[in-house]
A = this chain, B = another copy of it.
Amino acid sequence: MVVMTRWLNPDEQRTWRAFLAASRALMDTLDRELQRDAGMPHAYYEILVRLSEAPERRMRMSELADATGSSRSRLSHAVARLEAAGWVRRKDCPTDRRGQIAVLTDDGFTTLAAAAPGHVEGVRRHLFDALSPAQVDQLRRISETLADHLTGS
């Protein structure tokens, strides 16, 4: 059976290309700033943030993967790097012998604390400073809707 493609109309086309350009430019910029100022990519920064917010600064690998929207494989590689940098330590899980627990080290916490102000400033400058309060609200609703829609399917 032949199904006609529902092509994008000009408005949708324009929206889609603008979104692509904007989100890529934003993430590229933040990634580059973080790499330059803190010596780590944004994905690694996010891992440290999540760990720093967790009780006792530790999390199961799979929870951490979910929290950062990452695959298990990606997280495994990433934590290996973070461990080599001395920012994270791996521990065996006491209740599940398959499990591994990632623990943020003091060194990792210090590094994160040093990187955070600059990064937050970057997010503010490149994202929030450009938008009106109403637009920030719109962006939140849109993003939450999209995230739901994507993980729901």
The residue in A11, A137, A139, A144 that gathers the most chain B C-beta atoms within 10 A of its C-beta is: A139
Binds B, one of A19-27, A76-84, A87-95, A102-110: A19-27
Q: What's the minimum C-beta distance from A43 to chain B, rounded to whole angstroms?
A: 9
Are A15 and B139 touching (Cβ within 8 A)?
yes
Q: What's the minimum C-beta distance from A46 to chain B, rounded to whole angstroms?
A: 8
Q: What's the minimum C-beta distance from A10 to chain B, rounded to whole angstroms?
A: 11
Select A22's contact among B5, B27, B147, beta carbons within 8 Å. B147
Query: Would you give the 0/1 interface string for A118-153, flagging 1 where the beta carbon is closer than 8 Å to chain B?
Result: 001101111111110001111111111111111101
Task: Give 8 closest A-B pairs by Cβ, nearest first.
Answer: A18-B143, A130-B149, A15-B140, A22-B146, A5-B117, A22-B143, A25-B150, A138-B138
Residues of A whose CB lies within 8 Å of any CB of B are 5-8, 11-12, 14-16, 18-29, 46, 69, 116-117, 120-121, 123-131, 135-151, 153
